[in-house]
Amino acid sequence: MACSPRRSRVSLLLAVTMMLLAAFVTAAPTCAPGPDDEAGTSTTPATTPATTPSTTTVEDDGSYNGRAGLEDMEVIGTAWYPGWLSGTFPPSSISWSRYNMMTFAFAVTTEDPAVLDLLGQEEVLKTFVAEARKNDVKALLSIGGWTGSRFFSPHVATPESRATFAKAITDMAVQYELDGIDFDWEYPNLDGIGCNEKSPQDTANFLTFLQELKASPPGSRLMLTAAASIKPFMGEDAVITDASAFGEVFDVLAIMNYDIYGPWADTTGPNAPLRDSCSTNPATRLGSAESAVAAWTEAGFPAEKLLLGVAAYGRSFQVPLASAKSQEGSLNLFTAFDKTAKPFGEDDTADANYTNTCGVVEGPSGVWTFKGLIESGILGADGNPADGIDYTFDECSQTPFVYNQDTQVMITFDDARSFEAKGKFIDEQKLRGYAVWHVLGDSSDDLLLDSIHKGARIITEEVEVPADPEGEGEGEGCDVEVCEEEPTDGESDDDYYS
C-alpha cells in the first residue's frame, strides 16, 4: 500500500546543531553499525562486585530537562545496555543510529533507600551517557532488574522512605546527567527472584511514589519509564484491573514479552510468542504479545505509551530425540524435556554455577543470543539454520525452534522473521515502539533491528548535514522516519504469568 513518510523526529534540528558544534573538536558520528565484537549472554550479572555504593548529594540547579523533545518522538526504538558486559562491548559499539533512546542496566536497590548501587559501573555509565549525548539519543538508567528488586517494597512503603528513595534517584539522575529513569521492579507483591521483600500494598505504594516523584521539580524533568510483565501489576490479591493512573505517570512502559517458556516450564515452548490464542491446546497459552497488549489496554493503559519488549536471545532445553521429533520427523514444539539436565548457553562453562543474591546456587543459564547462535554455527551468517540443524517456524507464535540431534538440545528464539512480525504488530496496534533485551544480542549487521524496523515501517536513513562552520567539509547524520499510511477516514509466580 502506498504510504507517505512522516518524520519521527529524534530532535533532528538539535542533532544538526550538535554536530555542527562538534565539528570544531571532532568528526561527526556516522551511521555505521557496531563492530563485530563478542557479546555476553547473561541477562543479569552472575555475581555482585564488591562496591561502595555512592551516596553523593548533588545540587539540582534546574538546568537539565530530560523530557525535552519527548513529544516529537512519534516512534521509540530503545534497548537495554548491560553495563557488566562493557568489557566485551563498550558503549561506543552500540548501533546508536538505530535508536532514539537507550537504557543502562542496572542500578540495584539496597537496604538503605538513600543508596543505589551501580555495581562498580560508575565510569561505564559516564561513558554511556557521553556516547548517547554525542549521538542525540536519550540516556536512561534502569533501577532494579531480576536480581536488583529486593528492596523496592520497603522503599515505597512510607512517606519518609519514599522521599528518601526519590532523592537518591534524582540525585543520581543529576550527577550522571540522565534524561530519565526506568523502573524495572520484578515484581510488586511477588517473590520475584525468591527473596524480595513484598507487601499487598506494593502496587498502591508504587503509584503513590511515582506520583510524588513526578510532582517534584527534579522528577518533573525526567522521563519516567517502566519494564513490566505481560499482565498489569499485582494488587492486594489479584492483578489490578485499572492501570490508567500508571498511564498518567509513566511516559512509556515496556512489556517484557519474553521468558514465557524456559527451564521452569512443564514443556518446551516459545520464549517470546507473538500470539498464543491460535494454539489448539489451551494449556500452552501462557501469554504472548497479543494477550499482553490486550491485558494492559483493557486495564486502561494507553496503547500509545506501550513499547513491545522483544528478545534478542533464546532459551535451550535438553530434549531426548524421541520427544523432540514426531513420527513424521517434524519438531514437537510443546514437548517434555529433561529438567535435571540444564544445557549450556553460549558463554556457560563447566563452572557456570553461581550463587545468586538470595544465596541459591543457579546455572548454567542455557541462554543464547541471536548473535551467539550465528557465531557458534547453529545459524548461518544470514540467520538461517546451518546444515544438520533441524528447524521449524511456528506460525502461531511466529518464532523459530532449532534442534541439534547430536547434543539433543532444542533452542527457541527470535529471528529476523520473528522481529519483522513483531514490527508489524507494533504498527497494527499503534504502539509507541519497541525495547530490546539486550543491545548486545543482535547480529553484527543488525539483522533483527533491520527486520523490526521493516515490519513497523521505521526507516533509518543517513541525512545530509550542512557544511561545517569553516566550510571545509560535510558530515553525516542519522534520523528515523516512519512510513505512515495516508488517512482513510521464578516459578512461585506461575499463576501470575500464565
Tens digit of each residue's pLDDT (9 = 90 or more) over 352-373: 788 999 999 998 999 999 999 9
Strand order in the sheet with 367-369: 367-369, 313-318, 409-412, 399-404, 390-394
Peptide bond preceding 453 in cis form (omega within 30 of 0): no
Mean pLDDT across the chain: 86
Q: Looking at the domain assignment, is residue 481 inside a domain?
A: yes
pTM as predicted: 0.84
Which cell numbers in the block locate residue 26? Answer: 571532532
Return the pLDDT at 54: 53
Would you call 328 helix, strand, or coil by DSSP?
Answer: coil
Number of domain units in the chain: 1
* Run of H or E residues at 106: strand 101-109
* Run of H or E residues at 181: strand 180-184
Q: Looking at the domain assignment, is residue 347 inside a domain?
A: no
Residue 466 predicted with pLDDT over 60: no
Q: Looking at the domain assignment, is residue 139 inside a domain?
A: yes
For the domain that residue 304 is a member of, what is the CATH number? 3.20.20.80
Would you call 423 helix, strand, or coil by DSSP?
Answer: helix
Looking at per-residue confidence, does 460 or 56 come out higher?
460
Q: Looking at the domain assignment, is residue 324 inside a domain?
A: no
Q: Looking at the domain assignment, is residue 90 inside a domain?
A: yes
Residue that the C-alpha cell 507473538 belongs to: 274
Q: Looking at the domain assignment, is residue 345 inside a domain?
A: no
In terms of DSSP H, where are the helices of 41-158? 122-134, 152-155
Q: Looking at the domain assignment, is residue 389 inside a domain?
A: no
Between helix 159-175 and helix 202-215 the angle, nearest 10°, is 50
Q: Looking at the domain assignment, is residue 361 inside a domain?
A: no
Residue 337 predicted with pLDDT over 50: yes
Would you call 17 helix, strand, or coil by DSSP?
Answer: helix
Tens digit of each residue's pLDDT (9 = 90 or more) over 11-56: 333 333 333 333 333 333 333 323 233 333 334 444 444 444 555 5
By the 10 Å C-beta count (0-12 exposed, 13-18 middle, 19+ buried), 452 is classed as buried
Tens digit of each residue's pLDDT (9 = 90 or more) over 476-489: 334 455 444 433 34
Most confident range, picked from 18-27, 35-44, 102-111, 454-463:
102-111
Return the pLDDT at 333: 97
CA–chain centroid gap for 166, Å, is: 23
Return the pLDDT at 177: 97
Return the pLDDT at 404: 98
By the 10 Å C-beta count (0-12 exposed, 13-18 middle, 19+ buried), 56 is classed as exposed
Instruction: Compute the CA torsion angle 111, 112, 115, 120 (nearest 10 deg).
Output: -30
Q: Pick the closest to residue 141 from 54, 259, 243 (CA basis).
A: 54
Cα–Cα distance for residue pair 12/442, rounded to 1 Å:
26
- Structural domain span for residue 256: 3-313+416-497
DSSP state of 234: B
Return the pLDDT at 363: 85
